Amino acid sequence: MSTIKEFHRQSIDQPDVFWAEQAKLIDWETPYEKTLDFSRPPFAKWFVGGRTNLCFNAVDRHAAKRPDARALVYISTETNEEKSYSYAELKREVERTAAIMQSLGVGRGDRVLIYMPMIAEAAFAMLACARIGAIHSVVFGGFASGSLATRIDDATPKLIVSSDAGMRGGKAVPYKHLLDEAINLAGHRPAHVLMVNRGLDPAFNRVEGRDVDYATLRQQFLDAEVPVTWLESSEPSYILYTSGTTGKPKGVQRDTGGYCVALASTMKHIYCGGEGETMFSTSDIGWVVGHSYIIYAPLIAGMTTIMYEGTPLRPDAGIWWKIVEDYKVNVMFSAPTAARVLKKQDPAFMHKYDLSSLKHLFLAGEPLDQPTHEWIMGELNLPVIDNYWQTETGWPILAAMPGVEQTKIKYGTPSFPVYGYNLKIFREDGSECDANEKGIVGIVPPLPPGCLSTVWGDDDRFVSTYFSLFREPLVYSSFDWGIRDDEGYHFILGRTDDVINVAGHRLGTREIEEAVQGHSAIAEVAVVGVADPLKGQMPMAFAVVKDASRVATAEQRLALEKEVFKKVDESLGAIARPSRVHFVTVLPKTRSGKLLRRSIQALAEGRDPGDLTTIEDPAALEQLKQALGV
């Protein structure tokens, strides 16, 4: 067995040999002729000439061999539904959905926009698109009409698949009126809208001639058999728009063969999940983790995948761990924010259930702070592995790889560069940083299989956005600050646009957050840079305390604020001390658990906080305004 360093080195020095070996993990209808074509940098084509299909690799090959094995489990603690599908049953449902799409004129290369809650029909729709060679574009359910309209105009879908409503915290979140408004705002008009009516929205209405009912059409195609459409490896599989885009949206375009191989490799080398085992990812299909590690990768590996509609706290803070026990979950994937939410709950919920089946917990989506990492690993008493990756890459850039080598887990770091990524940390002049020197995390192309192949419909934007930071050498910019220690472990210090310039000193918001969280009273914190006429910017902190009684009075808040200042002074020096520490009971986050940093910053600067459609708890925004006196 090779070490991680040897494994990584081979992937960089001999990419053809390395990836040819990984390509054996999937089925090809036509063998590829060339592993890599990098004749037009920075554009890379992997497994040139090979023909394969994501749906075939995720569903058909397992349905043929293990038809009765459990493939998909749908659990909703919102509607109290629970349903399992074997591989044979999943194949039938995907073929029915594919037949519906074909009856509505959808074929190879056509776009299908999916605007759905976390229900099984959403998985059927994604896999059906992959089956017939259509390109899906999933937009997070409940996204604002204006933002949805820009995505409709950019992707120009022939069909939109949606539902009357999602559910969140026991309340229906109607989608249809948002979708109707988006279509009215958009210049492009889809030929049809395929609606899954869950009976959750009493105001639900259909637009005659455009809207069609999923349940009715499904009955017509119960016995449909839809053959797989084999795609050349570089043909697009899907478009996923990056969150927080303004103006013209930026659609990450993913290929087919490279993505399939990359995902299959990660299940072997990183996530250690195999045939007959179970994976539970707590994300949403509207985000890249949902695409890669709810829908595609677990199924490609022949696992059972769990699709969950609900929160980590409903009906109580033990629900995720109950699912682990009930379904003998072997691999779990969540986000640092979710871990911090659970950190505020009674830890007894984590010890109430039998978690002996669980091999690893993986966390990704934002930097994992050391206190949270240490806490959850101690409570679970099993490896908690931080990942660092992006919508653009589709799979991890930095991670421990227990399937290659068991390495020491360090708190607060996503460990090492993953195979295929020629990752370096650069100074702003393009030279490479030394160990323990902060710089910009970059990847020397070619990007490995499965990363974005371009920006949908805009090759120039792909180059100008991601490869314009340096020309010599040509480098993919992650837009993140990072640092590498003497042992090769990497730390992510936050976005380059989250770096605060205080009187000429560059300070990463994550560094300050870590310092604030070093105070024993603080459960969670967000630090943003706020414009300052004297120093350019000053950090401002918004903190959630573990015990609200600590900040019940103005005197208590002032005293704790001073203690936090002292903690930051001790950790980073007075230059990093926040101008203020505002105490709140909840921070504004998206439903996927990401902090709305730009909105927090905008409010702190007296600006419009922007589109807040995806906010989890609107009350958090009001608290912020009260704290700021706006």
| 428 and 511, same domain (yes or no) | no
**Domain around 526:** 503-628
Interval 191-208 mean pLDDT: 96
pTM for the structure as a whole: 0.87
Share of the chain above pLDDT 90, in %: 77
Any idea which residue has 């380059």 for tokens?
496
Confidence grade of residue 340 (pLDDT, cut at 50, 70, 90): confident
Other residues' Cβ atoms within 10 Å of the Cβ of residue 413: 24
With respect to residue 331, please indicate whether it lies within any of the assigned structural domains. yes
| 75 and 179, same domain (yes or no) | yes
C-alpha 330/C-alpha 334 separation (Å) is 13
CATH of the domain at 254: 3.40.50.12780
| 201 and 265, same domain (yes or no) | yes
Interval 169-178 mean pLDDT: 92
With respect to residue 495, please indicate whether it lies within any of the assigned structural domains. no
Domains contained in the chain, number? 2
Write down which residue in 449, 481, 513 finishes a domain: 481
- Chain mean pLDDT for the chain: 93
| 274 and 319, same domain (yes or no) | yes
With respect to residue 488, please indicate whether it lies within any of the assigned structural domains. no
Query: Which range is least confidently modeled, 3-17, 140-154, 428-442?
Result: 140-154
pLDDT tens for residues 243-296?
Answer: 543 457 889 999 999 999 999 999 999 999 999 999 999 999 999 999 999 999
- Strand pairing of 439-444 and 476-484? antiparallel
The amino acid at residue 594 is K
| 512 and 475, same domain (yes or no) | no
Reduced 3-state DSSP string for 486-546: CCCCEEEEEEHHHEEEECCEEEEHHHHHHHHHCCCCEEEEEEEEEEECCCEEEEEEEEEEC
Q: If we measure between CA atoms, which residue out of 239, 233, 297 comes closest to residue 263?
A: 297
The pLDDT score that the predictor gives to residue 247 is 55
Could you tell me the maximum CA-CA distance found in the chain, to the nearest angstrom? 72
Reduced 3-state DSSP string for 287-345: CHHHHHHHHHHHHHCCCEEEEEECCCCCCCCCHHHHHHHHHCCCEEEECHHHHHHHHCC
- Non-local (6+) Cβ contacts of 629 within 8 A are none
Share of the chain above pLDDT 70, in %: 97
Any idea which residue has 């105001």 for tokens?
203
The pLDDT score that the predictor gives to residue 571 is 78
Are 77 and 266 within 8 A, CB to CB?
no
Structure tokens given for 309 = 């509609």
Residue 142 has pLDDT above 80, yes or no: no
Q: If we measure between CA atoms, which residue out of 416, 349, 413 comes closest to residue 386?
A: 413
| 165 and 268, same domain (yes or no) | yes
The pLDDT score that the predictor gives to residue 246 is 43
- Give one word for 442, left, alpha or beta, with left for phi > 0 and alpha for psi -120 to 50: beta
pLDDT tens for residues 613-629?
Answer: 667 777 888 888 888 88
CATH of the domain at 621: 3.30.300.30
Cα radius of gyration rounded to whole Å, the chain: 24
| 298 and 424, same domain (yes or no) | yes
With respect to residue 486, please indicate whether it lies within any of the assigned structural domains. no
The pLDDT score that the predictor gives to residue 91 is 98
